[in-house]
Chain A
Amino acid sequence: MADTSTGLRRRDALASRLVQVGFLAAVIVLWYLAATRWGVNRLLLPNPVAVFDNLVDILRSGEYIDDLKVTLGELAAAFAISVTGGVTLGYLVSRSPYAIRVFEPLFAAIYAIPIILFLPLFVLFFGLGPASKIALGAAISFFPIAINTITGFGTVDRSYVTAARSMGASDYHLFRHVLVPAALPVILSGLRMGFTVALLSIIGSETLASLAGLGHRIVHLAESMEMARMFAYIVFVIAIAAILNAVVSGLEARGRRN
């Protein structure tokens, strides 16, 4: 096995970067050619330049603001509910090893099926407004949060607890200074997963059955065949999702370091 010197490895990393950039560039070029020269139906594939112009227009005019407010509002509400419920229930279950053995597999099993399946039920119950999205988002993101909270609190090293108790720690002290810091990394990881999954399910339920929000906007544009604008919104939503996920991951990393 040849050993590579530092110079060789740096050249290698650069080469990988070039391939990635080249790949992305090739995709865009192919897209452009397909839309303009190779006669792919403009009703299927819009001109990338038109998409870009639409995106700029959307941003400049602020047309996205109302839909963004709806989506983010639903996300915030759903996440608030699932965090409160998930962490509380997770903590309560974690207090007894027996309860963990009973509930943890139950939660894991429910989480394994696509809960979005129940959206029509939520729509029947709450209507097409934000309430059904919030309810579904909360329901889905509850599970990774609860499961991780159970794991976090449930696997705290017994020796920490013993040590603290031997120094006279009260229940409150124990909770605040031993259990929470020890469980925090796993819980934060669960919160991040819950956030990601809540965002996905809200955009998804807006796509399937809604009157407002970013997901709905995309559907609306699809139905009126405004392809360039729809593509622009797709890019916009992907960017928003990426930013939100990056922020949440950053917060998780920050929380873990402390």
Chain B
Amino acid sequence: MATAQAAIKVRGVSHQFGEEGEQRFVRALADTSLDVARGELMCLIGPSGCGKSTLLNAIGGLMRPSSGSVDVMGKAVTGPLPRDIAFVFQESALFPWNTVIENIELGMTFQGVAKSERAGRAGQALEAVGLKDFARHYPAQLSGGMRQRAALARALSLETPILLMDEPFGALDEQTRMILGEDLSVLLARSGRTIVFVTHSLGEAVFLADRVAVFSARPGTIKQVIAVDEPHPRKPEFVTSEKFTALRNQLYGLLHDEIRKTVLQSGLGAAARQDAGPA
């Protein structure tokens, strides 16, 4: 993959919160570099606190990293790029006082879409996520899974080349996650967008991603990038295949030590350390 084609270029990004010597000082990211090709779905996976959400926010222009640079579609990122990047967050970021369709149309209002186009695009987006019948519902009247579908519809309606998704299914139960993951794969095969997807779930990463970037424990940096060579849309049978299991095991191997390190960092592992004896 030629670097010239990369939709997202991350170079030497580090970030820290607070200042040295303060109690809240935390080095979240350390010298991270990454290329995401156009049309690729890149998963970021790693233990808690490894900085994957921080990196996502930096790519999306929601925050300035302490050092390093990010380029998106050839432009340097210094702030939000609403025409190029749309977000889907883990927490419901739908405005509770608006109906689903009002939420979607409002997103387009912010982006600057002409009034005449909004209704049409909103309808299409709802259709794509299967929420056509719930256009006039309020978010409070929907289940968690449906709310995230609505959030996805809003992001899709903005017709940005890049989609950044921060554990969008994290708050949902496993069965809903499975279904939404399959639907997402179908959707994305059709639209050809570039996606960066943060997740905790190994299975989700292997199922959805073209490549998976595995993060180390804090201060996070990319340990290794694994490729998943399987065409989109991914079939449900893929999950039970040998290739899937092998990739998942590979991820597990890479992550396990990092997760242990994170647990020790947070002091919870002291008892386990004692039980385990010398490493």
A16 at the interface (CB under 8 A from B): no
Which secondary structure dominates where chain B touches chain A? loop
A5 near B19 with CB under 8 A, answer yes
Instruction: Report B-chain residues with C-beta under 8 Å of the C-beta of A3.
Output: 17-18
Separation of A40 and B51 alpha carbons in the complex (Å) = 65
**Which A1-39 residues sit within 8 Å CB-CB of chain B?**
1, 3, 5-7
What A residues does B22 contact at CB under 8 A?
5-6
* Chain B interface size, under 10 / 10 to 19 / 20 to 34 / 35 or more: under 10
Chain A: number of interface residues, binned into ranges: under 10
- The answer on a CB contact under 8 Å between A1 and B19 is no
Number of A-B contacts (CB under 8 A): 13
Taking CB atoms, residues of chain B closer than 8 Å to A5 are 18-19, 22
The residue in chain A whose Cβ has the minimal distance to the Cβ of B62 is A1
Verify A1–B18 contact, CB threshold 8 A: no
A residues within 8 A CB of B188?
none
- Secondary structure of the A side of the interface? loop
Interface residues in B12-26 (C-beta closer than 8 Å to A) = 17-19, 22-24
Q: How distant is the Cα of A5 from the Cα of B23 in the complex, in angstroms? A: 10
Give bound CA distance, A238 to B200, whole Å.
Answer: 58
A residues less than 8 Å from B63 (CB atoms): 1
**Distance in Å: Cβ of B29 to nearest Cβ of chain A:** 14
> Which A residues between 59 and 99 are near B, CB-CB below 8 angstroms?
none
Write out the residue numbers on chain A whose beta carbons fall within 8 Å of the beta carbon of B23.
Answer: 6
Q: How far is the CA of A5 from the CA of B24 in the complex (A)?
A: 9
A92 nearest CB across to chain B (Å): 38
Q: What would be 13 A-B contacts, judged by CB atoms less than 8 Å apart?
A: A1-B62, A1-B63, A3-B17, A3-B18, A5-B18, A5-B19, A5-B22, A6-B18, A6-B19, A6-B22, A6-B23, A6-B24, A7-B19
